[in-house]
Structure 1
């Protein structure tokens, strides 16, 4: 598999998902209703909320049709 740089759409999707995950984590902390993530240790809940959407957005963006590149 060729090693190409990650496209801008993938970086943007990952950044947006990361920020959305952080926002959800902050809301979860402010509301103090962590019953959804109750079985997990407290130190793992915030990183998990931030990283899972990021990984899914990256994978979705990477699997999407890529921008054609011209051969120079």
Structure 2
């Protein structure tokens, strides 16, 4: 059986880029406050953990869902 190298789909690229950017933004915003406090400090610790854990997957889903599908040639087996 011969394998072909397929291009990475636009959906995968969009989801990966979106997750990377939102993770970096969340990390920067949470640590770069002028008064030394973090962005999520007003929230209880258990809620901070949930917010930090949920934001990247939500952005991944939404960006992958919104991106166009990469058309492929029909493969015959």
Shift of 1:41: 2.4
The alignment yields a C-alpha RMSD, in angstroms, of 3.3
1:41 to 40, 44, 66: 44
Q: Is 1:69 matched with 2:45?
A: no
Structure 1, unaligned runs of 5 or more:
none
Shift of 1:16: 1.1
Q: TM-score, normalised by structure 2?
A: 0.55
Q: Is 1:58 matched with 2:60?
A: yes
User: Compared with structure 1, are the counterparts of its residues 28 and 21 closer, same or farther at alpha carbon in structure 2 (3 Å cutoff)?
Assistant: same
Q: Is 1:12 matched with 2:17?
A: yes
Structure 2, unaligned runs of 5 or more:
1-8
User: Compared with structure 1, are the counterparts of its residues 70 and 44 closer, same or farther at alpha carbon in structure 2 (3 Å cutoff)?
Assistant: same
Q: TM-score, normalised by structure 1?
A: 0.57
